[in-house]
Structure 1
Amino acid sequence: MDIKKELIEGIIQELVKYLYEDKLVDVESAMDTVYNSITFEKVSDTETGLYKESASYVYELLKDEIREGNLIQKEQ
């Protein structure tokens, strides 16, 4: 398996875990939220480079997307 795919899968797993722990939703709902998000699309697209970021950073993007209804990448 290529390293980019491994990094992407690791981030996705962490996003599901964070949602499950923070929002107290079941695993299936957390997976549904992650896999149907714009954040998932962007992390999966290696051209964006988002797979290089930490899972906690990407989780903040996902939370913003859930709250705002779209993906907002804040300046660092």
Structure 2
Amino acid sequence: MALDRGARALARDGYRLEDVTRIIFLMHDTDGFPSCFPLLRDAFGTGRPGTTLRLVTEFDSPGTLIEIELVVDPAQV
């Protein structure tokens, strides 16, 4: 799962998902995106990071459904 990989990458630098200040979702198709909301609420706890959704025509890697960029502002942690 993408959030698990993101959480591991954050942990390497001493951060948690709760420290994320912005999430950028890159998606080709948004039809199933609303079903992710409960998972995102659970993953980010009480933190409410700003969210950007970008539609893309294709990804570099065939078969990719979504890319997620997690941004942490150390000044806000």
Give TM-score scaled by structure 1 length: 0.28
Higher CA-based Rg? 2
Q: Which has the larger share of helix? A: 1
Q: Per residue, is there more strand in 1 or in 2?
A: 2
